[in-house]
Structure 1
Amino acid sequence: MPAKTTNVALVILAAGASRRMGAPKQLLPWGEDYLLGHVVKNALKTVATEIIVVLGANYDYINQKVDRFPVTVLNNTDWSMGLGMSIAMASNYIKEQVLKPDGILITLADQPFVTPDYLNNMISVFLPGRNQIISTSYQHQSHGVPVLFDLSYLDQLRQLNSDVGAKSIVDKNQHFITYLRPEFNNADLDTMEDYKTYRKQGYDTDNL
């Protein structure tokens, strides 16, 4: 039986232009920091061996806010093509590394409710070398990010180039999927109304 591992690269996708938000949501205030800063700090509390942040739109401005963290920052100049291009960029970066991770854990910059404990739980149930995909399960039998891929999917991840992210890979490999249900409300903050609603309800704390 394969041994468990903590040798996982954690990729934060933060390249979008936030058109529906009307402002770069990566830098909206959240807790004691800003949205992307909050997500990065949570990622740094995990057992992942490397944190990779993929930026794109407003790169220069946002990168100035991120460079205080011990993370790898990539600039996706093709960010307008969607999440798939950001995943491909991170995967190409990993492909070039001499010491590669056993798995790739993908999460989003606009999901501030994802906790370090949940990400660590995903890593704890991951068994490398089994083509495993660990996907987050939501209501109505849907699934999505955060999602953890075995390194065997690296070349497929490198070929992505659309806004549907890695959904095509997940859909083709249903028999390798392990589903996890989070104990928190894993909402995306896509609009200013979403953002204001959760802040008004007091959700923007660094303890979530």
Structure 2
Amino acid sequence: MSKEHISAIVLAAGFSSRMGTLKALLPWQGIPLIQYQMEQLKNAGIVEIIMVLGHKADELAQVISPYDVKSVFNEHYRDGKSSSIKKGVSCMTDNPSGIFILAVDQPVPSFILQKMVEHFRIDQPSIVIPSYQGKRGHPILFQGNLKEELLTVNEQSKGLRKVIQTYHDEISYLDVRDPAILLNLNEPNDYFHKN
């Protein structure tokens, strides 16, 4: 299994209502957050990157247009994050060995992604979740054979939680010793205290 077989789905369709401004365009290490995410994935060797857009899709599409990523529009983005996960998974071009699912407001540096891929390649668990000081973080890396399960997620069953609960005994927690995996930029305080 090589990095070329890992696909990544970046969820960037939400309203950013709690932040009060479009989170994907917030500056992060000198560039828009959505651009930072793409560059980290590219640096980690992820070839297929699917950007799921919804709210202000045209604006975000312009930012990501110079990159070799697939942008798809989730016409049901108002229904919640699960609809974006299903849209992204359904747009993958092949059957990858692994599927990263990332939210645009959860920036993670490339070396963590690389560690996760390497761990995944060697141990081949159903799910890899990074952890820091015993706390679970993100992103989550799923075996490609869980594609069908990912296509059935919905808001009623708490999205990815159902898949994680179903395969609870097949999860590998990877200690990355970096608090970046806990970042979740939902509100202005989250952003201004971390940036």
Q: Same fold judged by TM-score > 0.5?
A: yes
8 A Cα contact 1:129 1:150, kept in partner: no
- The structure that is helix-richer by fraction is 2
Deviations 1:5-25 (A, max 9, x none): 321001111111100001111
1:182 and 1:84 mapped to 2: Cα distance? Answer: 27
Instruction: Provide structure 2 residue ranges, at least 5 long, that are not aligned to the other structure.
Output: none
Matched, 1:155 2:148: yes
The CA deviation at 1:130 is 5.7
TM-score, normalization by structure 1: 0.84
8 A Cα contact 1:131 1:152, kept in partner: no
- Aligned identity (percent) is 29
8 A Cα contact 1:39 1:109, kept in partner: yes
8 A Cα contact 1:110 1:189, kept in partner: yes
Q: Which of the residues 158, 166, 177 maps onto 2:171?
A: 177
Q: Which of the residues 86, 98, 102 maps onto 1:103?
A: 98
Q: Residue type matched to 1:67 in 2?
A: S
The CA deviation at 1:85 is 1.1
Deviations 1:30-70 (A, max 9, x none): 22211111111111101222111111111111111111111
8 A Cα contact 1:11 1:90, kept in partner: yes
The CA deviation at 1:144 is 4.6
Q: Residue type matched to 2:128 in 1?
A: I
1:106 and 1:121 mapped to 2: Cα distance? Answer: 16
Residues 1:143 and 1:107: Cα distance change in structure 2 (over 3 Å)? same
Matched, 1:135 2:132: no
Q: Who is 1:146 aligned against?
A: 139
Residues 1:175 and 1:67: Cα distance change in structure 2 (over 3 Å)? same
TM-score, normalization by structure 2: 0.89
Counterparts of 1:19-58 in structure 2 under 5 Å?
19-58=17-56
8 A Cα contact 2:53 2:71, kept in partner: yes
8 A Cα contact 2:48 2:69, kept in partner: yes
SS of residue paired to 1:100: coil
1:89 and 1:19 mapped to 2: Cα distance? Answer: 21
SS of residue paired to 1:105: strand
Residues 1:116 and 1:174: Cα distance change in structure 2 (over 3 Å)? same
8 A Cα contact 2:33 2:104, kept in partner: yes
2:126 and 2:65 mapped to 1: Cα distance? Answer: 33
Deviations 1:55-103 (A, max 9, x none): 1111111111111111111111211222211111111112xx3x42111
Instruction: Provide structure 1 residue ranges, at least 5 long, that are not aligned to the other structure.
Output: 200-208
SS of residue paired to 2:46: coil
